[in-house]
Structure 1
Amino acid sequence: MKNFKLNKFATIFIAATAFATVTSTAHACSRITLDTPHGVSTVRSLDWGDQLGNVTQVNPVGIERMSAETPSYEKTMQWETKYHSVAQREYDVFHGVTSDAINEKGLAASLLYMYDSQQFIKDYKDSGAPAVSFLNVIDYLVENYASVDEVAAAFNDNAFQIAWADGLHGTQHGLHISVQDKAGNIALFQLNKGGKMVMHRGDVKSDLRVMANAPLQQEHRAYVEKVDLTDLAAKDIPSSISSLDRNLRGLFNTSHITLEEGKSWAQTRGKLLSTFNAGNLVPQDLIDPVNGETYASWTQFVYNHDNGDFLFTNYDTREQIGYNFNDTLAFTETMCADTVKQASEGLNTVMFSKCKSM
């Protein structure tokens, strides 16, 4: 397993250098969440202009946590993990950002890029709530709340805020967050004009079942309204890799599939993946007509909020590796696994060991 331990100055230098590049690198991601006969399930890809890695980290109950990188805010979020969770962290480009996580109650959270929010960061005002960085806001959400309703109530009560001004390793980025639970509820959090945080509520039957990148949700909805999603001939379904088109295709595809009773979880998972891949996976070398840049899907997760199954795919090599959330419940200390490396070594099941650094 790779050694994640760096001294403070080396970490700052590497992160600053990398993020100077990231700001001009194409970005994308997609997430779908659907109900199935085996329970609510999520498929998520991480797409970028540079190849991405993935480290799976288990955080058991009772760990003392503090958010990193919130110097611009009066209060920094501190917490003790209330719920056992498993997180997906990216070190190769984003130096430890948690992109996706799920807890023992079946609440999951996903962090995706949202370029259009970056222009509004200057207008965001400190709400006085404890601030949590984009580095570990996903961890915070799944380690403290059991459902989407609980997250929404905490948001409305100003129990937490995002450290927008401090960004990631000193560079500001537009990002957005969704939370989805095993009851099928979904909430999407976005920074809008005037620095206003907006929460969209829905469920697996609503358009929030699909999540992509820019533009903001209201603009996605205006774009989708121009197309008849009931038309099975799909005459007006666009084919580009742009976020607008990926979101629209995801809504079209998920509108027409049937996840049948009587099929095994493996069969259901296969259908979820084929549905996602047909509309939202990004092949290498294609050009986004919106920005003229290229990016690709490097890693992908599919997980079940009820039975705990998790399958990871590295699309650089098409290698896969998996585990079951329930098999991590006995861990009493933080454990990690480099899933990309282990899959490349031919392992089919993730092998966890003590994290070398946090």
Structure 2
Amino acid sequence: MKSFKLNSIAIAAVAAMSIATVANVAEACSRFTLDTPHGVSTVRSLDWGDQLGNVAQVNPVGVKNVSETPKYKNAMEWTTKYHAIAQMEWDVFGGVASDAINSEGLAASLLYMYDSAKFIEAYQDSGAPAVSFLDVIRYITETYATTEEAVKAFNNNEWQIAWKDGLHGHEHGLHISIQDKSGDIALLQLNKGGEMVVYRGDTKSDLRVMANSPLQQDHRAYVEKVNLDDLAATGIPSSISSLDRNLRGLFNTQHVEFKEDASWAQTRGKLLSTYNAGNLIPQDLIDPTNGETYATWTQFVYNHQNGDFLFTNYDTRAQIGYNFNDTLGFTETMCADTVKQAEQGLQKAVFTQCAAQ
């Protein structure tokens, strides 16, 4: 486990400076959620201009939590209802939960969405308990059992996103996907006029792929210009832009076929090769939409049904795994620095008490 020498205030200050300077660099990250003979599975990468870390944090049932949202009347307080594991990024984002999955097979993913930033000013406090972007992925997976349950609560104004609090005091556009073991998917985005839009779909819909800007309606307009049925892929663009990554992801996942008699390891390999063919970002390439460079630093693939989780650090191409079910006996919050442990040559993550932040 990484030893964090900075106190919480210093970490927040470093994260704020780092995030505040990369508004246009952030057109990165992708997420696939697909159905396989071994159950619904998700592949997710974190891509950024600076190298990223990753700590897997186990949050057992019964833990009391409070989200800090000073710009909102009501802050969310919750007690962990479902045992969950969150992927925490401390090196750049100062403790953001980027992805998580719980014991019921419900997962959630947080990705950058630059185009929503300009709508934050128009967003009105709904009066519901507000959840910080630092905590929202944890809150969803520790509170709800299905995508439908989480969305119904959101639509009933039982929780809201603390847009104006942003990340460590700086406003940023982000968006959230929620996906469960049945393949039900929801995408939450902030649109024009400060309106929250909730898209619904499943692993057969275009919500199976998630990228970054532009907003979903603009992604759909871009994809409509290309014939995804053309296996020759003559109209599939090659840049690392979010528009092109989303389109390539839809094309590749539309044509992938998972064999019923293949093992989970073989299926997982095919998931990763499908993802990496169109959505993994090599170092040093330039995004034509903003002239910036960023790369895939960390990636994980997990199965919503059997609990398998595999982490890859693309700085060294080291891998480490664990099974969700092996953590069910934990009664206190436990952590594993998967980047550090993978670099040490461990093949299975070792969870210990979390270092004080």
- 1:24 deviates by 5.0
What's the counterpart of residue 227 of structure 1? Answer: 226
What's the counterpart of residue 247 of structure 2? Answer: 248
| TM-score normalised by the chain length of structure 1 | 0.98
**1:275 and 1:239 mapped to 2: Cα distance?**
15
- 1:25 deviates by 3.3
* Maintained 8 Å contact 1:5/1:356: no
Does the C-alpha gap of structure 1 residues 9 and 269 become closer, same or farther in structure 2, counting only changes over 3 Å? Answer: closer
| RMSD of aligned residue pairs (Cα, Å) | 1.0
**2:101 and 2:4 mapped to 1: Cα distance?**
22
1:61-210 alignment, distance < 5 Å: 61-68=61-68, 70-210=69-209
State, as a whole percentage, how many aligned pairs show the same letter: 73
* Maintained 8 Å contact 1:5/1:357: no
- 1:357 deviates by 2.1
* Maintained 8 Å contact 1:26/1:294: no
Report whether the alignment pairs 1:324 with 2:298: no
| TM-score normalised by the chain length of structure 2 | 0.98
What's the counterpart of residue 262 of structure 1? Answer: 261
**2:7 and 2:255 mapped to 1: Cα distance?**
51
**1:194 and 1:320 mapped to 2: Cα distance?**
43
What's the counterpart of residue 57 of structure 1? Answer: 57
* 1:45-74 CA distance string (max 9 Å, x none): 000011101000000000000112x11100
- 1:202 deviates by 0.2
**2:175 and 2:16 mapped to 1: Cα distance?**
22
Does the C-alpha gap of structure 1 residues 182 and 98 become closer, same or farther in structure 2, counting only changes over 3 Å? Answer: same
**2:47 and 2:32 mapped to 1: Cα distance?**
14
What's the counterpart of residue 19 of structure 2? Answer: 19
Counterpart amino acid of residue 250 in structure 2: L
* 1:222-268 CA distance string (max 9 Å, x none): 00000110011111000000000000000000011100100000000
Count of aligned residue pairs for this structure pair: 357
Counterpart amino acid of residue 19 in structure 1: I
**1:45 and 1:9 mapped to 2: Cα distance?**
28
* Maintained 8 Å contact 1:299/1:314: yes
* Maintained 8 Å contact 1:65/1:78: yes
What's the counterpart of residue 38 of structure 1? Answer: 38
- 1:11 deviates by 3.2
**1:185 and 1:71 mapped to 2: Cα distance?**
33
* Maintained 8 Å contact 2:33/2:209: yes
Runs of 4+ in structure 1 off by over 2 angstroms are 3-27
Counterpart amino acid of residue 176 in structure 1: H
5+ residue gaps in structure 1?
A: none
- 1:18 deviates by 2.3
- 1:152 deviates by 1.1
**1:280 and 1:323 mapped to 2: Cα distance?**
24
